[in-house]
Structure 1
């Protein structure tokens, strides 16, 4: 696949070949007129004695040859030495290469690329509106979206991870600190009460407790637990407690079974009331709210939680990078849609479109102001890279064809002037 620069170079060469062909055609036409004038002069001189009219023809042809040769010399002297003879003040363009480059650069900078000129051109161009219309085409929006995604992906690779971890940690911590955990927890508990969840939780707890109490292998553990709770060290009391423990455990298990089976048991209502009261206090009791807030603040200051919040950036970067590089079609579609929406906004007359055009205009004039002096130097440096022959050839290709009309006009006008002079001479 050819590079864009190769294609441009080939197009330039093709254009140069075309211009050179047209130039050669005009040169042949000018030379043809000169030869025609010479032939006409020879014929007229040979037949001048046969009729007075041939004298007029000879005068026309002679003056035409003089005009053609004079203008040929003038045109050729611009680009090279006529016939290779280094006559004074010939090959003007090659010999004035540096002066031409300097003057051309100054002219462009002072009269073409000016702040007012650039501002007027940008103001009339409405680049924002044109960009908006272009971006409204789905294919263009999709292409621009891919470019934007690629730019964002590359920018993401250059992000300072340590700095971003700190930013994410601070942002996430600040957002979590804004949460009213008391009201959230109270509202959640109210929802649980309304859905009967406390009773379901209680049923699960009772079933586990009944099973655990019914396992005789756990009775010794329960007895030791009772002894530790009451700090019983007396051997006799210990024996009595351990001997009574199985009956106490059976009674406790029977009570748990009763509560589990009886949906109207008083303890069930008390559990619901406790949770409902806690929900109300979480949402309205300043003391409870202050306690939750202290716990929340302490949790946010925990080193492990801070490290976890900072670690969020790693996952965000990984997923975002994969999405921008084409791993997530939904993200690509979102970016393309966003670009198309942006184009729609730019295409509609309004403050956004005016602001973007104003920013482009201000940026253009600022660039001209900032780089004033550089434009002329740039043109001068570019022309300095050409050889004298190359510069002469390029200028001749650009305007040489039009200059051949000077030779053609010189031939015709010279002949007419010669004819006029001869006629006046004959008359007076």
Structure 2
């Protein structure tokens, strides 16, 4: 394209020379000469403009030329800001993630037949199995359990629990648990009705027993409790239910802000970690996890073709077909990616600006000129043609 643009400019120069020599004999060649003359001016002007973007024309230090090399740091900063404002803003990322079906993609992957992707799966599986088998089981298990216990001891779980509970309440995710608790209360009431009646009978005095009022009192208590559970399950605005929700909200706040509550939770955590049963549970969990990892890594196709494979494929089918699960997983993925963009977006932007700043002027010039490509030379060609047409128009007006 450079050869074509330069060749067109040379052609206009040759045409100008020929028409200038022949114009006295053929006056109509004045229009052709005017076209060639103006085309040379347009072509040279656009050559100068295109060249001035990337370097000094003819190597001359003309002011306001070599614009991109001189301003590469500012361009890098502007590009980084453009990326941050148009790609790494949490709102932009969230809007983009709404159109990405992470759960559906995971479901399709889980349903992929075991034979597909065998080389990648086999290589990764051998590496994982060799690493886990080469490490000392007792020491590795002790390290894992110690790391988990140390991490839990250093972590203040009370604010996390409070924040999780508050988030669940704010998003109404506590409602299913509350309704499940109400249903459990109803079942417990039905299962323990004889016990309640026996307690009422034992606590009633002899006058009530003589008049047979203890049975009526037991009936009233059982019916009242049963009515209470039914009303709580059907009426979201039931006073008792509202009181429970207020208590949960207060607990979430206390877990985050009240020192006494936080201290009690930390004490309970330490007691659980010091309990031998918890240590034995961690031992069993580690052994089962290690054996499962090695078994699956040694023969991933057989594992995926067996019960685990059925479970994985079933899980994949559920991910694709269940709208509630897909919505929940996609929402989680969206929040995770948005959180990553909010946390690490500035680092990515800084990487872009610092990378461009570290390039030398020649690298910036070459890469940008290559990125724009043929269009730069089309600017020169178009300038030559448009300049020629303008020259013909001016010559026509001058002649008239």
Quick one: distance in 2 between partners of 1:129 and 1:350? 10
Quick one: distance in 1 between partners of 2:85 and 2:327? 29
Is the alpha carbon distance of 1:92 and 1:327 closer, same or farther for their aligned partners in structure 2, counting shifts above 3 Å?
Answer: closer
Quick one: distance in 2 between partners of 1:342 and 1:145? 20
Quick one: distance in 1 between partners of 2:313 and 2:123? 13
Q: CA offset at residue 316 of structure 1?
A: 5.0
Find the partner of 1:78 among 53, 59, 69.
Answer: 53
Find the partner of 1:368 among 335, 341, 359.
Answer: 341
What's the secondary structure of 2:374's corresponding residue?
helix
Q: Which residue of 2 aligns with 1:100?
A: 75
Q: Which residue of 2 aligns with 1:109?
A: 84
Confirm whether residue 34 of structure 1 aligns to residue 9 of structure 2. yes
Post-superposition Cα deviations, 1:156-209, rounded to whole Å, max 9, x if no partner, equal 965436849x99xxxxxxxxxxxxxxxxxxxxxxxxxxxxxxxxxxxxxxxxxx
Quick one: distance in 2 between partners of 1:328 and 1:113? 38
Q: What is the 5 A alignment of 1:50-69?
A: 50-69=25-44
Is the alpha carbon distance of 1:67 and 1:159 closer, same or farther for their aligned partners in structure 2, counting shifts above 3 Å?
Answer: farther
Q: Which residue of 2 aligns with 1:326?
A: 298
What's the secondary structure of 1:138's corresponding residue?
coil
Quick one: distance in 1 between partners of 2:321 and 2:339? 27
Q: CA offset at residue 418 of structure 1?
A: 0.9
Confirm whether residue 353 of structure 1 aligns to residue 335 of structure 2. no
Q: Does the 8 Å CA contact 2:121/2:300 hold for their aligned counterparts?
A: no
Q: Does the 8 Å CA contact 1:145/1:339 hold for their aligned counterparts?
A: no
Quick one: distance in 1 between partners of 2:344 and 2:107? 29
Q: CA offset at residue 108 of structure 1?
A: 1.2
Q: Does the 8 Å CA contact 1:119/1:361 hold for their aligned counterparts?
A: yes
Q: CA offset at residue 310 of structure 1?
A: 9.9
Is the alpha carbon distance of 1:397 and 1:145 closer, same or farther for their aligned partners in structure 2, counting shifts above 3 Å?
Answer: closer
Post-superposition Cα deviations, 1:305-345, rounded to whole Å, max 9, x if no partner, equal xx999997897577545413316975453444433332222
Confirm whether residue 379 of structure 1 aligns to residue 352 of structure 2. yes
Q: Which residue of 2 aligns with 1:389?
A: 362
Quick one: distance in 1 between partners of 2:319 and 2:88? 27
Q: Which residue of 1 aligns with 2:389?
A: 416
Is the alpha carbon distance of 1:51 and 1:331 closer, same or farther for their aligned partners in structure 2, counting shifts above 3 Å?
Answer: closer
Q: Which runs of 5+ in 2 are unaligned?
A: 150-278
Report how many residues are paired: 262
Quick one: distance in 2 between partners of 1:407 and 1:162? 67
Q: What is the 5 A alignment of 1:263-412?
A: 319-320=291-292, 322-326=294-298, 331=303, 333-334=305-306, 335-412=308-385
Confirm whether residue 118 of structure 1 aligns to residue 90 of structure 2. no
Q: CA offset at residue 45 of structure 1?
A: 0.3
Is the alpha carbon distance of 1:45 and 1:349 closer, same or farther for their aligned partners in structure 2, counting shifts above 3 Å?
Answer: farther
Post-superposition Cα deviations, 1:373-404, rounded to whole Å, max 9, x if no partner, equal 22321110121232110111000001031111
Q: Which runs of 5+ in 1 are unaligned?
A: 1-25, 168-306
Is the alpha carbon distance of 1:314 and 1:103 closer, same or farther for their aligned partners in structure 2, counting shifts above 3 Å?
Answer: closer
Quick one: distance in 2 between partners of 1:328 and 1:67? 68
Q: Does the 8 Å CA contact 1:141/1:339 hold for their aligned counterparts?
A: no
